[in-house]
Structure formats: structure tokens, C-alpha cells
Amino acid sequence: MLKYIIKRLALALVILLGVSMIIYFLIRLMPVDFIQDKINAMNQGGATVSQETVDAMYEMYGLKDDSFMGILKGYFSWLSSLLHFDLGTSFVYARPVSEVIFEHMGISFAIALIATIFEFLIAIPLGITAATHQYSLRDYVVTVLVMIGISLPSFFFGQVLKSFFSEFLGFPTSGMVDATQSYTGAALLVDYARHMFVPILTIVILSIGARMRMTRTNMLEVLNSDYIRTARAKGLSERVVINKHAFRNTLIPLVTSLAGLLPSLFSGAIITEQVFDLPGIGNIALDAMNRGDIPFIMGYNMFLAVLSVLGILLADIMYAVVDPRVKLE
């Protein structure tokens, strides 16, 4: 397994190198001059920006030379900074990009982690029971829930839940805490929970549909296999057949979906964070993109690329855990 992991890590480095090139050249070849836009905004605000300051800004962000060799030189300079874990300095926040990411990442991670746990706890059992009771009432109920989760846009459904819980149940639906109060200890945790309940509920309801459908489809395929019929013919109880023999093989496609779980935990739910005005990394990234924060956009995308590669590697390793037939060599 060690040899396999080393080979995959070497391949991951090649992939990340390619991703870094794509990110850098796409940003550099965009027809918008973000530095000039920033300078124009400063001038409109009444500030006078000297040419020396303008040149220094272009030089600081490696954008002074737009020739091919200049872009190539800028890429290797940016790549060298990446290797030293330096993602650059944000235009908007005037701070290192890594600091901005890690400051706001915790909020998105906490929300995504709690939502993911509830998603798996709800979606997988419902998908299994829908498959084992095909065309029954519970199967139709699960199908309706799947259609709701897949069809409803997050910005629409989030606003519906926001209005309902705010007007009828008195839940706060904006921000992280009540700014008018100074809670501490357990009261502060309760306030956090009240503010996070509706956003987490929105994410869970909208995400369980796809997971339930995947579980149901895979479970139905496994239940029609020869070895399942053999297990039943041997007199094994239905509970043992479902939980021990069928469900373990259903896990194999689910493990594949886990490859995208790691980046999703840290990338933030951009639309949901916008609806509920949460200062998560998704909301911050969208604001940075709208305001032309080149260093943040590039650093944030490389951060997600690293997490995606790690997620794929972990999913490959998990194959050997859930399926003994898979050998990592």
C-alpha cells in the first residue's frame, strides 16, 4: 500500500502543477485589468494615486509585464511562493490570503461538517429502506424527498425556510450571533445553534436527495445479485443479508462520492451563506471574485485543488477498506 500511496502522491504533484498553470494563465489572460479598476476606485474616492504607487502595485502582484515571457516569469514567481506556502496578499483585505482563508474557513467547515453528518445519517437509511421496500409507500415518500432535494434551488428554498422559521418560530436567520446581546459560555453556544439551525437544515434537505437516490439505486442493483439470493437460500435472516452482505457492497459507489467530500467541507456553501449572511469562506470568496481580488482567487482555487487531490487519494484508499477484492499495489 505504501508503494501505491507514493505513486499516487507523485501523480498528485503533476496534477497540481497542471492546475496551477491553468489557474494562473486564465487569470492573467482575462481581458480585465483589476489593478487599474482598483486604482480608478481609489481615484473616485478622492485619493490621488501617484504613478510610482501604480508601478509598485503592478510589481508587487507580478502583473507589470504582459508579454509571454513576463507572464511566464510571473507564473514561476507565484509557483515559488506557493512552494513556500505563501498564497500572496489580498487586494481587498490587505492581508495574506492564507490568513483570510483560515480565519473564515472554520465557520464554513463547522456548518458543512454538521450538515454532512446529518445528511449521511438520514439519506443512507432512507435509501436502504426504499430499496428493500420497492414500490411501497415509504419508497414513494423517499422518491418525493429526492425530487425536492434535487429540484429546488438553494437560494429559493433557503428564503422559504428563512421566512417560515423567522415569522412563525422566531428563529434568527441572519448572521452568526445576536449583536444586541453579550452572551458567554453555554448561552453563547445556544445562540450559535439558533443562528445555525436554519442554514444547516437548508443544506441537509437539499443534499440528501442525491445521496438517497444513489443509495437506493446501488442497493437495488446489489439485491438482485446472485450472492444475495444464495445468502437468502442458506437461511440467513433478512437483517443479516441487508446489513452484512448487501450494504457493504453498496458502500463502494458511496466511497467514490467521498472524493468530493473533503473540498466541500472547506469550500463553503456560497449561495446559502449569501442568503443567511454568514461570514463563511464561500461568501468571502464570492466577494473577492466580484471585487477582482486576484491573489485571493488564485490562492483559494489552489487550496481547493489540493483538497480535491487529497480527497481522491483518500477515496482510493477507502476502496480497500470496504472491498477486500481491491488490492492497493
Q: What is the pLDDT of residues 247-301, one digit of tens each?
A: 877 777 777 777 777 777 777 677 888 888 888 888 888 888 877 778 888 888 8
The pLDDT score that the predictor gives to residue 53 is 73
Q: Give the pLDDT score at 321.
A: 67
Question: Rounded to an integer, what distance in angstroms lies between the CA atom of residue 99 and that of residue 303?
Answer: 12
Between 31 and 85, residue with greater pLDDT: 85
State what percent of residues in the chain have pLDDT above 70. 90
Class of domain 104-293: mainly alpha
Task: Say if residue 29 is exposed, middle or buried (CB neighbours under 10 Å; 0-12, 13-18, 19+).
Answer: exposed
The pLDDT, as a whole number, for residue 75 is 84
By percentage, how much of the chain surpasses pLDDT 90?
A: 0
Work out the pLDDT band at 169, boundaries 50, 70, 90: confident
Short-list 245, 247, 258, 239, CA closest to 215: 247
**CA distance linking residue 5 with residue 54, whole number of Å:** 47
Residue 106 has pLDDT above 80, yes or no: yes
- The whole-number pLDDT of residue 120 equals 86
Average pLDDT in the 216-237 region?
A: 84
Read off the pTM: 0.77
Backbone angles phi, psi at 96, to 5 degrees: -55, 140
Q: Please give the pLDDT value at position 32.
A: 65
Helix spans in the chain (H): 2-28, 34-44, 51-60, 68-83, 97-132, 137-151, 154-168, 185-223, 226-233, 238-240, 247-257, 261-267, 270-275, 281-290, 294-322
* pLDDT confidence bin for 60, thresholds 50/70/90: low
pLDDT band for position 324 (50/70/90)? low
Closest to 249 (Cα-Cα) out of 146, 329, 319, 315:
319
Q: Is the pLDDT of residue 52 over 80?
A: no
Residues 322 and 255 sit within 8 Å (Cβ to Cβ): yes
Closest residue by Cα to residue 305 from 87, 73, 77: 87
Confidence of residue 328 (pLDDT cuts 50, 70, 90): low
Q: Could you report how far apart the first and last alpha carbons of the chain are, in Å?
A: 6
Using pLDDT thresholds of 50, 70 and 90, give the confidence band for residue 320. Answer: low
Mean pLDDT estimate for the chain = 80
Nearest to 285 by CA among 75, 274, 261: 274
With beta carbons less than 8 A apart as the criterion, state whether 262 and 311 touch: yes
| CA 78 to each of CA 38, 81, 308: distance values in angstroms, whole numbers, following the listed order | 21, 5, 21
Burial grade of 328 (CB within 10 A; 0-12, 13-18, 19 or more)? middle
- Which of 308, 218, 322 has the alpha carbon at shortest distance from 259? 308
pLDDT digits (tens, 9 = 90+) for 143-166: 887 887 778 888 888 888 888 888
- Rounded CA-CA distance 161/197 in Å is 11
Cα torsion 223, 228, 234, 238: sign: negative
